Chain A
Amino acid sequence: GQQLNQSPQSMFIQEGEDVSMNCTSSSIFNTWLWYKQDPGEGPVLLIALYKAGELTSNGRLTAQFGITRKDSFLNISASIPSDVGIYFCAGQQASNYQLIWGAGTKLIIKP
């Protein structure tokens, strides 16, 4: 099935660093969603984006709906240990009831 290209696959971060990740596709999306999953838990919704160019924040997290409608970005500022986990993007297209999911970006804290 169709997939979103999510990058990077994983990243090592130091506490206090800013983090950026993105999701891209060759197709246009109407909605972008960003989720975080902790080990052994279900994904938790972080940010929802509904309009091209939209920039939305949730605490230290900021996400943007790309102007071309084919991509989305998530930034985390001043990372802390509890930011560790897997971040997923998901998109919805006009012609498709189902969400399409990226494979995730795993955030790991450098020891």
Chain B
Amino acid sequence: NAGVTQTPKFQVLKTGQSMTLQCAQDMNHNSMYWYRQDPGMGLRLIYYSASEGTTDKGEVPNGYNVSRLNKREFSLRLESAAPSQTSVYFCASSVQGPYEQYFGPGTRLTVT
């Protein structure tokens, strides 16, 4: 079991460029999440998918979109990157609901 995998590991974008962060889990979990982590801060929820076919906004959704492609995959898209989106992005999954979440290794994104 690979658990939760994320690609890419690192990315540098220029302001205005777009990109998609990929996440996949092989634990047959129903719920998936996207977080961002900024230095010295806890995790902030961007979007989540409680189950396949549903997505909802979290605490900081502005500037992002998501797609729950199937039960395994949940992608995060930045349509027009801004320097304020420089952060480390984590994908997580749980069996059902916001309880025991399992995290991927993260994507370190820099927007210049």
Contact = CB atoms under 8 A, between A and B. Distances in A.
Do A and B assemble together?
yes
A103 interface: yes
6 contacts: A33-B99, A42-B104, A44-B103, A48-B100, A97-B97, A101-B43
Contacts of A33: 99-101
Contacts of A40: 105-106
Contacts of B104: 42
B98 to A, nearest CB: 5
Given A43-B90, A88-B42, A99 B101 contact: yes
Contacts of A99: 45, 98, 101
Nearest to B56: A97
A102 B100 contact: no
A104 B98 CA distance: 19
Contacts of A45: 100-102
Contacts, number: 55
B98 A41 contact: no
A98 B59 contact: yes
Given A3-B42, A33-B99, A48-B99, A97 B105 contact: no
Chain A interface size range = 20 to 34
B50 A97 contact: yes
B105 A41 contact: yes
Contacts of B99: 31, 33, 48, 92
B103 A98 contact: no
Interface in A82-111: 88, 90, 92, 97-99, 101-104
Interface in B3-51: 4, 40-45, 48, 50
Given A98-B45, A99-B98, A101-B42, A1 B59 contact: yes
Interface string B78-89: 000000000000
A88 B100 contact: no
A34 B98 CA distance: 13
